[in-house]
Each structure stands twice: as structure tokens, then as C-alpha cells.
Chains A and B, each alone.
Chain A
Amino acid sequence: MLSAKNLVKTFEKNEKKGKKVLFNAVDDVSIDVNKGEIIGILGPNGAGKTTLLRMLGNLMKPTSGEVSLIEDGEVVSDERTIKKNIGYLSGNTKLYGRLSTRELLQIMGNIYDMSKEETDNRIEEICKILNLSEFIDNRIEKLSTGQTQRASISRCLIHSPEIYIFDEPTLGLDILSSSAIIEFIKNEKKKGKTVVYSTHYMEEAEAICDRIIFINKGKIICQGTVEELKKVTGDESVRDVFQTLIKKEGVDYEF
């Protein structure tokens, strides 16, 4: 189980006329992610979704608060161990264009402390799951958008993590590619893996998430299963729930 306690992240922001102001991008957020669960993080642009996910993935250190991994009642907060259990994917995690997918996966395996044999076997497996064989030895910069996305996913699979953190994984993809990712998430859940992901697509979240967390201005404003959320506002769909909640917060959110 991945557990985040009272996460706060403070940044310096450039206000008008270059004046620097401190603000909390994430403000006292606590999340417990249970094993085998799909959690959707929803919120308007600038709500702090990416910062929150970066802290969950240990890419960024929180200003205060703690992220820890609880396995069989044992609490681990060592950065390296947590990272080894997480596969992180976002629009900002681009791949090294001058390497081939195979070279990239081999190097990653090495860094995740896997033996050469282990890595090669895992690459064969991933190759089958994501159908990489036709382009695995081509330079990544030569791949098409869909192929690149598959290569990206293969990157977070190499070390067989228990938890996936995806920051808007379907953003800007066509229907085929994005549904492939949704399928992938569903399959991983079947294998008992945990997924935390953020998205702007409400229907997508409604379809696959066990639990949805709405955040705005760095704070959790509401969380629960799709049914629970609908009860809170009395709306019919997650989209409407979202709009009602955000309006209550005093933010006009444009879709």
C-alpha cells in the first residue's frame, strides 16, 4: 500500500510585475492507495495534480509530509525502494530518441538492479504484451506517436512494479491509442496491480476508477467511489459532480 501523509509542496510563484510569492501547490493532502485499486485524480489545470503525483512517485521531495510504502505491515520510506516499486509515466517522461527501445530497456534493467538474464527475459515478455517486436531495435526518434507511447509504457513495465502512477496518460492520443492504454490499466488491475492516475476525461475515469479524488487549489475537496460522489451532489454523472463541486469552490472551470 502506498501511503501519503499531510503532503505539502510550496513553490515560489511569479506574480504580476515579477514579484515573488510563496504558494502551496499541494496543501496538506493525505492519500492511502490500497493494493489492486485504481484511483483517479481529477481537478482543473493548476490544481496540483502533477505535483501530487510527482511527490507520490518520489520524483519531488515534499516541503513537509511523507510518502511511504506499507508492505506486510512494514513501513518503508526509503526513496530508492519506493521508486523500485513504482512505474511512473507522464507527458513529461520522454524517451531518449537516439537509443533503441531495447537499449533503453537494458539500461533501465541495469539501473533497477536486475541481472542481464532477468532483463532479457522481461524484455521478451513485454515485447509480447505490447507488441513491440517490429520496432524494438529502431531508434526511438524514428517511431510513430503510437509506437512511442507503447515504448514509453514498456519503460515503466521493465521492473515489474506493483504500483503505476500515470499523469494524464491518454492526453492527446487518438481513440485507438487511448483505449489501448485503458485496456492496459484494466489488465494490470486484474493482475492485482495498483494504479494512480490523473486525467481530464471524466467518462474515462468513471468507467475504470474504483475511487476518485477531486483536488482543487492543492486541496482534496471530495473523494469516494463514483456512486458515493453522485450521492454527495445528487448529479447524474461524474462530469456534473465535478462541475458542481468546482463551482462551489468558486472556480469557473472551462472544459
Chain B
Amino acid sequence: MNFKIIKALYKKEILDVLRDKKTVLMMLVVPLVLYPLLIVFGLQLMTKISTDMEEQNYKIGMDFEEKKLTGLFEAEDKDVEGYSISLVKTDEPKDALAKGELDAYVTKEVVDGEETFVVCYLSADTNSSYAADIIIEVLNEYSLSITTDLIEDAGLDAEYVLNPISLAARDYSSNEESAGNIMGSLVPFMLVTSLLMGTMYPAIDTTAGERERGTLETVLTLPVTNQELFFSKFLTVATIGIASAILNIISMGGVGVYMYKTMLGFSGRNGIDMGQFVPGIIICGLCVLAFAVFISAISMCVCVFAKSYKEANNYITPLTLVVMFASMVSIVPNVELTSNMALVPVVNICLLIRDLLVFKFNITVIMLVLVSNIIYGMLAVVLLGRIYNSEAILFGDGSASVQIFEKRSNMIKGGVPTLGDMWLVLAISLVAMIYVGGAVQIEFGYYGVLGTQFIILFVPILYALYTKKSLVETFRLRMCKANAFVGGLLMIAGTILLGMIVTGIAGMIFKNSATELTESMEYLLGDSFIKTLLVVAVAPAICEELMFRGFVFSSLEKKCSYKKAIVIGGVLFGAYHMNIVQFFTTAFIGMVICYVSYRSKSIFPGMLMHFLNNALSCFTMYYPDTVKKVAPILVSETVTLNDMVLMVLVGLALIYSGAYILNMKKVEKN
């Protein structure tokens, strides 16, 4: 890459984007003009409402005589500044309330054999609600005065009986911590949203916009490589995104300081030492930079497939919603930034900013967030670079590889799903599992957990049926020779041995997640062995295999080389388990089973392997004593180095011999 060219292209892109009205509107006008105006206007509106309320005359009705109560109402009217009360005596208060002659009234009724004061009001009417509050307040006073009288009648000190202990609260949070706490729930959401909004328009403009205006081919005539082109565009989007985020922060900070200064007069608190926030702000700044890289590249990846501005807008809306929803996590109390959470994009950055603002510095977690954001950012940039290097994208009209959006009569019978189909089905299944699964599990318990597994079966099958794919090809529903089963058996045995070591190492690095995992396994122990086996081993062996070695792997295999398909298939399978400790082992197992499915062209050996792997962990959980006698290595807490070397060697030997058997007979057949 030639940096002089990138600089020249970057200059052109920045100039071009800054002259786009939409971008300037989002970047300058919204944060610098609209936000302050909205907030100032909102404050004034609130002041006006409270003044109106204070000047209000509340008409309160009573349909009975009670001298002392009437006296209290009158006293309230005199004592309280602002609003006034008119006490109205009426026999038909309900009608008067309906007609608006009364704001609220109090009546006496017998409820459950006891004489009760009933406050009647209209909750739909604000004034009526306030009037009801006033009545309740006065009634409480009335009740208190009666209590006081009773206590004094008994010859006791009413003041002491009512308040036997004195009570005071003292806040030892520093002003900075309290301010940080308030900011911590708002700043992350605002920062992420403004960053997204800032990148959105330049992302659309430099990709789909350029395609729509027909200037892309002009750039391609220049002595510029595709990499230089995409990199300069990416730099532009990231710059604008960061600039607009900074402008947003400055604007919001300004409004915040203004509001704080106006309120400081009332609270009587001392000022805030902004200096204390500096280290946190620096760390946040670094993470936000990495995040800006990520979000710019991701939004460009989405937009690059669109033919026009409008289409790109449609594509980016779901992304916006997901990111905004995820960023609201900082408002939810009790969500902690664990090492697991530190790997979830968007969520990690929001939680980190929140923690830093209340001076929680955890170096491990900070590093995890920073590193994961840098990695996500780099991955997204690499992906974008790959996309930009494709002539189908540069000269074509973007590709619509998701088949379900085609007319059904246009779909071709047979074949396997496309990659676009695969991503869509994975996304749908995952969302369905989280929402539908969650609801079903709460409602039906064990059978709910079992049923949830079948979601991952039904979604791909229905999708394949609707898009007229060949079920036999997509799900590999072919029988195969016995050697595939024997080979698979040996391979899974070796994989389990190696997997134990991997899990052990991962468990040492991610301690939190390891505990979570053990807890969720133990939760299942309550049921009988057969029931657990059904949910832990049988159902996944059927459902997950059809999904991952069927739908997912078939579509990958069609598009990529088999090696790449096996690696991606395994990683997706690992990621699906949504636990960092399990990830490495499950991804490894996934790859091994993918290989067996690829070689045998059948789903069934994989099902057997998956079943055995899961059944073994289930068996170990229920019958640790039996396992201890037969294979003590499987349950021992500590493993010596010698054992480990032995395990690796035996594991590898098993895998190789399994692969040999798997392949051997195949050659004979050919």
C-alpha cells in the first residue's frame, strides 16, 4: 500500500463526505444544536409544568362532616406555598368529579366491616391525581394526630413513642463517585449511539452512495489498488465517526455541566474534581478508538452490498437496532463486566465505561476489552478488505445470495443452501432459542429444555423445504459404510482425550466461566440419568448435527475449500455454545466431526460421535465412582505432566488411526 495515495484518496473522501448535507447534519447540527436545544427546552417545559402546578387551585370534595379533618385541610391551604385548596361540601361527589367540578373527593365507606376513608379520583387526569395525593397527605396527618392523642391519653410521651430511635444517613461516596454513577448509566449508551450515527452516513455514502453516483469506476481507472481504496474509505468513515462522537460528548458534557451548575446551588454539595476522571477517560478513549474501527468497518461491510443509498439504509437499520439495544446494558443494574462479558462486542465497551466512571479498575478485564475490541476491529477491517477486493462487488450490483427473498416460483429445486442462507438460518435459530426457548423453559421446565433443542432442527428443515433444497444433500441423509463409524469412533475417543486438556487450560484462564459451566451442569443432576441423557446427548446428537454438519457445513463446503469449510464449521459450532471455556473444545470437536462428515458424506457417523462425547460427560457426572474404577484419568482433579503427554500421544494416535480407517476403505471403493 502506498501511503501517499491513501492520503490523497482520504483527502478526497473527507472533502466529498463533508460536503454531503446528511453527514454534516448528523455530525454537526444534531449534537451541537439539536441536543442542547432539546435539553434546554425540556428543562423550561419542566419548570413551566411545576409552576403551573404550584399556581393550581385544587377543588377537593367531602361528603361528610368531620371538624378536625376540615381544619387540617384549611391549615394545609394556609401553610403550603404555591397551590391552594378549596374544600367543597357536596352530596353527589361522584357526579361532580365526572363533570370536573371536583378534582378529587374523600368519602367514608364500610369496607370489610371497618369504617374506611376512601379517596376517589381520576388517574387519567393529572390534576386529579395531585389532588388525591394532597388528600392522602392530609389523611395521614389526621391519622397521626389521632395516634398522638391516644398515646398522650395513655400518659406516654408521644414524641418518643412515635420515634423511639433517631435516624440519620451519611453518604461516604465522594462527589466524583456519585457523579460517575449517574454518568456511567448514560454516557456509554450516548457514546455508542452517537458513534454509530456518526459512522452510518459516511459508511453509506462512501460505499452504496458511490455506487449510486457511478464514481467508483472513475477511481478504478487511477493507479490505485483495491486495498488502498478500501483503506482510505475506511479511514474516512472512522474519522467522521470519531469526530462526531467527540462532538457529541463535548456537547452533552457542556449541557451536563450547565445542568450540574444550576442544580449545585440547591444541593449544597462541593464541586467535582474532574482530574480524578482523567485515567479512566484515557482508557475509555483507547477502547472507544478500537470500537470506532470495529463499528466503521462493520457498517461498511453491510452497506457495500447495497445498490443504492436507500437500500443501504434498509440494511443498516437492523444493525443500528442491535447495537443500540446492546448498548443499553449499562442502564441495567447488576450486569457485571465478567471476563465472559468482556468478549461481547458493544456490551463490553459500555460496561467498561460504566465501571471506569465509578473508579472500578480491573486490569485483566480492561485488557480483555481492549484486546477483544482491537481483534474485532481488525477482523472487520480484514473482512471489508476481502469484500472490496471482489470484482463482483465493485462492478456488480451487490449480491443477493439469500434465497428466501426470491420469488418461490423462481427457486431451483435441489442443491444445498447458500452462505447467505446459512447466516440467516443461524441468526434466526439463535434468536428463536433465546426468546422462544427462554419462555418455553420457564413454562415447561425439563420438557421445555428438551423442546428448545428442536428449534435448531425445525428452522433449517423448514427453510430448506421452503427454498426447495434437497434434504438428502443438505442434511447428508445418506447411509455410509461401516468403516466411517469405526473411524469416527476412534477419532472421537482421541478428540475427547485432547479436548480434556484444552478444557483444562481454558478453565484456568477463564475461571468465572468455568464455575458458571459447572453450575449449569449440576443443575441438571436433579433428574434421572435417562432423562438427562436424553437432553444432554440424544437431542443434541440429532438436532445440532443436522444443523451444523448438515445445513451449515453443506453450505460452507459448497462455497469454500473443504479445509476452510471444516475450520469455519468448527468455529461456528464452538461459538454456538456461547461459553468461552467450552469454545475451544467444542470448536475442535466440531472440526473433527466436520472432517468425518466430509469424508463419509453422511450425517450418521457424526451423530454417533456427538452422542458418545456428550453421553460420556453425562455418565461421568452421574456415576463418578464407576468411572473412577474404569478410567481414573477422566475424573482426577490434577493431572501430572507425564499423564498429559501420554494423553496427547494416545489421543493423536487414536485420531490418526481413525482417520486412516475412515479413508482406507474409501480408496478401495473408488
Measured CB to CB, the residues of A under 8 A from B are 12, 17-19, 54, 57, 59-61, 79-81, 83-84, 86-88, 90, 92-99, 103, 107-108, 110-113, 139, 155-156
Which 10 A-B residue pairings sit nearest by Cβ, starting from the closest? A94-B214, A88-B221, A98-B19, A110-B8, A83-B223, A93-B218, A80-B223, A92-B217, A59-B220, A107-B12
B214: A residues at CB distance < 8 A: 92-94
Q: Are A60 and B395 in contact (CB under 8 A)?
A: yes
Least distance between B400 CB and chain A CB atoms (Å) = 10
In the assembled complex, the CB of B3 is this many whole angstroms from the nearest CB of chain A, namely 12
Closest to B220 in A: A59
Q: Which chain B residues have a beta carbon within 8 Å of chain A's beta carbons? A: 4-5, 8-9, 11-12, 15-16, 19-20, 213-215, 217-218, 220-225, 391-392, 395, 406, 410-412
B19 partner residues in chain A, CB cutoff 8 A = 98-99, 139
User: Contacting A95 at CB < 8 Å: which of B11, B20, B218, B224?
Assistant: B218
**Pairwise interchain contact A108-B222, C-beta atoms closer than 8 A:** yes
Contact B15 A103 (CB under 8 A): yes
In angstroms, how far is the closest chain B Cβ from the Cβ of A226? 29
Q: Which one of A54, A83, A99 lies within 8 Å of B15 (CB-CB)?
A: A99
Give me 11 A-to-B residue pairs in the complex whose CB atoms sit less than 8 angstroms apart, sorted by A's number.
A54-B395, A59-B217, A80-B225, A83-B222, A92-B214, A93-B217, A97-B213, A98-B19, A99-B15, A111-B222, A111-B223
From the candidates A19, A81, A99, A156, name the one contacting B12 in the complex (CB within 8 A): A99
The main secondary structure of chain B at its interface with chain A is: helix
CB distance from A197 to the nearest CB of B (A): 14
Distance in angstroms from B407 CB to nearest chain A CB is 9
Residue of B at shortest CB range from A61? B391
Q: How far is the CB of A48 from chain B (nearest CB, A)?
A: 14
The reply to whether B218 and A155 contact each other, CB–CB distance below 8 Å, is: yes
| In the complex, number of A-B residue pairs with CB atoms less than 8 Å apart | 80
Q: How far is the CA of A79 from the CA of B226 in the complex (A)?
A: 12
Q: Kindly provide the distance from the CB of B468 to the nearest chain A CB, expressed in whole angstroms.
A: 11
- CB <8 Å contact, A93 and B221: yes
A115 to B224, CA, bound (A): 17
**A111-B8 in contact given A18-B411, A61-B391 (Cβ < 8 Å):** yes
User: Which residues of chain B are near A110, meaning CB under 8 Å?
Assistant: 4, 8, 11
Which listed residue, A17, A94, A98, A107, touches B412 by the CB 8 Å rule? A17
- Roughly how many angstroms separate A95 CA and B218 CA in the complex, as a whole number? 7
Chain A residues near B411 (CB-CB < 8 A) = 17-18
- Assembly CA distance A59 to B225 (angstroms): 10
Contacts of A84 in B (CB 8 A): 223
B8 contacts across to A, CB distance below 8 A: 107, 110-111
Q: What is the bound-complex CA distance between A237 and B591, given in angstroms?
A: 67
Q: How far is the CB of A109 from chain B (nearest CB, A)?
A: 9
Residues of B within 8 A of A113 (CB): 4, 223
Known: A83-B223, A94-B218. A111 touches B16 (CB 8 A): no
Q: Which A residues are in CB contact (< 8 Å) with B225?
A: 79-80
Least Cβ–Cβ distance between B235 and chain A, in angstroms: 15
Contact check, B12 vs A96: say whether CB atoms are below 8 A apart. yes
B410 contacts across to A, CB distance below 8 A: 17-18
| 17 extra interface residue pairs, beta carbon distance < 8 Å, beyond A111-B8, A111-B222 | A12-B392, A18-B411, A18-B412, A57-B221, A60-B391, A87-B221, A90-B217, A93-B214, A94-B217, A96-B12, A98-B15, A99-B16, A107-B12, A110-B4, A111-B223, A112-B223, A113-B4
B495 CB to nearest A CB, Å: 37
Cα-based distance from A58 to B220 in the complex (angstroms): 8
- Bound CA–CA A18/B406 (angstroms): 9
* Residue of A61, A80, A96, A113 contacting most chain B CB atoms (<10 Å): A96
Given the complex of chains A and B, what is the CA–CA distance between A92 and B215 in angstroms? 7
A98 touches B16 (CB 8 A): yes
